[in-house]
Amino acid sequence: MKPLVAIVGRPNVGKSTLFNRLAGRRLALVQDEPGVTRDRHYADAEWEGRKFTFIDTGGFVPGDEDQLLQQVREQAQLAVDECDVIVFVTDARAGLTAADEAVANFLRKSGKPVVLAANKLDTTTGQMLALAGEFYRLGLGDVQALSAEHGLGMQELFDAVTAKLPPKEEGEDEEAPPDDGLIRMAIIGRPNAGKSTLVNAILKEKRVVASEVAGTTRDPVDSELTYKGRKIVLTDTAGIRRKKSIAQRVEQFSVIAALKAMERSDVAVLLMDATEPAVDQDAKLAGLAEERGRALVIVVNKWDLVGADQRRQETYRESLKYALKFVGYAPILFTSALTGSKVEKVVDVATELAEQFRFRAPTPQLNRLLEHMVDNNPAPIVRGKPLRLYYIAQVAAAPPTFALTVNHPEGVPDMYKRYITNQLRKTFDLRVPIRLIFKGRP
């Protein structure tokens, strides 16, 4: 997978500001589903031909000085455990603090590559830059002067980060896992949602044949199995946690683990705890799957503790659908990993989604659909002229990606994009993310 670059630092130094600036660099090709108003916690970047992902390890809860220090250390530990390069952000206006020194000591000992940034240097006057000087005392090498708010020093920051990335590995830029017939499922979810229990329950299913030889994967948290003639690899992100365990208390851990597991999966199985709805964190994980373009099945686990009432289930499903509107296409299942109830269904649905994820639409059928779409829904007016749709073609699978040639590629209204997406979903029965690309006529 692409290297991960952690952004760490105490509260208020400007991490979120920096992060939003980095996230703004996101490729404009990717279409947002409606209703996406989530905090961003990672941002893809590309610099000098190298691709990598920034991760915000933020998420501090208020507390006294000691608690703050403890949290800052945990963030740093998480970054050291899980990421390749660390950007350590400080506030040059506030000057060096005890928390900065604690983090610096910790990072220095870890031996991880660190880029030290002094933020809030809004002008490049000598007086301002002198403020950065003090941070050399941290013993982390060069200090990158930064103004996250005004976007100053960004190129230098990117240069410094790229210089410290590990050597490029073959295939690390691939957006999707290889199409080799294997179905890869990542079991993601908050701590204690029941991920390990689910993996064990799946392996105990009658029709599941667990693989004796671990041939295809190297990771110890992967389980290989055969189900109805298909080879499946399950990645349990809770397993990753147990293996390392140090930074597990940090809320952001499940996000990083999910990101890593998803990177090499076709389908994300998002496990939620029916007795402990925490929609924010679950929505974050669902959003990750959407942004990464992975198939997603939402599984409400521990349903045995809620009861078998059918009406209750429908009410729950409706409110969940509303909270997770931006992944409205994802099937929702109710299970008990403990009793094994509906566990096989999870594998069935995930397998089906993995197939849709690799789906390729026949071009003649696509063009018939285009005609039908234009006939049935008058094209909107863009800059005083009707929008014209000339051709449609599927340009990629995993996830299905369609290119449309139109007269005003920049002006296609969101509502019309949604209409096209929905028509594609209906016609081809696709319950996975769909990407649209609009191009002008050459």
Residue positions in the annotated binding site?
9-16, 56-60, 119-122, 189-196, 236-240, 301-304
Residue 424 near residue 388, CB atoms below 8 Å:
no
Bond into 399 cis (ω within 30): yes
CA distance 338 to 341: 8
Looking at the Cβ atoms of 35 and 151, the one nearer to ligand GDP is 151
Q: Which is nearer to ligand GDP, 17 or 356 (CB)?
A: 17
By beta-carbon proximity to ligand GDP, the closer residue of 9 and 287 is 9
**Given the complex with ligand GDP, which of 37 and 376 has the nearer CB atom?**
37
Residues lying near ligand GDP in the complex (CB under 6 A): 9, 11-17, 58, 119-120, 122, 147-149, 189, 191-197, 238, 301-302, 304-305, 336-338
Of 77 and 254, CB closest to ligand GDP: 254
Cβ of residue 81: shortest distance to ligand GDP, in angstroms?
A: 17
| For ligand GDP, the closer CB: 97 or 377 | 97
**Single-letter code of the amino acid located at 316:** Y
The answer to whether the CB of 394 falls within 8 A of the CB of 366 is yes
| Cα→Cα distances 197→27, 124, 186, 191, 192, Å | 38, 56, 14, 12, 9
Residue 103 Cβ vs ligand GDP, minimum distance, rounded to whole Å: 13
Q: How far is the CB of 194 from ligand GDP (least distance, A)?
A: 3
Structure tokens at 281: 């964190």
Measured from the CB atom, is 189 or 293 closer to ligand GDP?
189
Tokens at residue 61, please? 């809860």
Which DSSP state fits 14? S
- The residue among 14 and 433 lying less far from ligand GDP, judged by its C-beta, is 14
Closest CA to 288 of 408, 188, 427, 150: 188
Chain-centroid distance of CA 130 in Å reads 38
Between 129 and 397, name the residue whose CB sits nearer to ligand GDP.
129
Closest distance between ligand GDP and the C-beta of residue 438, in Å? 33
Which amino acid is residue 268, in one-letter code?
A: A
Q: Least separation, in Å, of the C-beta of 361 and ligand GDP?
A: 36
In whole angstroms, the minimum distance from the beta carbon of 151 to ligand GDP comes to: 9
Backbone φ, ψ for residue 301 (5° rounding): -95, 170
Radius of gyration in angstroms for the set of CA atoms belonging to the chain, rounded to a whole number: 24
Two tokens at 71? 């949290």
CB 131 to ligand GDP: min, Å: 12
CB of 274 to ligand GDP, least distance (A): 8
Question: Rounded CA gap, 387 and 375, in Å?
Answer: 13
83: left (phi over 0), alpha (psi -120 to 50) or beta: beta
- Report the Cα 401 to chain-centroid distance in Å: 18
CB within 8 Å of 388: residues ≥ 6 apart = 379, 406, 407
Structure token digits, residue 358: 């690799």
The residues pairing with 231 across neighbouring beta strands, listed in sequence order, are: 226
Could you tell me the smallest distance in angstroms from the CB atom of residue 386 to ligand GDP? 43
Beta bridge mates, 189: 271
Task: Report whether 55 contacts 42 (CB < 8 A).
Answer: yes
Residues 9-12: contacts with CB under 8 Å, at least 24 apart: 9/72, 9/88, 9/89, 9/90, 9/100, 9/103, 10/68, 10/72, 10/97, 10/99, 10/100, 10/103, 11/58, 11/60, 11/68, 12/91, 12/94
Tokens of residue 221, six digits: 């948290």
Question: Known binding site for GTP: residues?
Answer: 9-16, 56-60, 119-122, 189-196, 236-240, 301-304
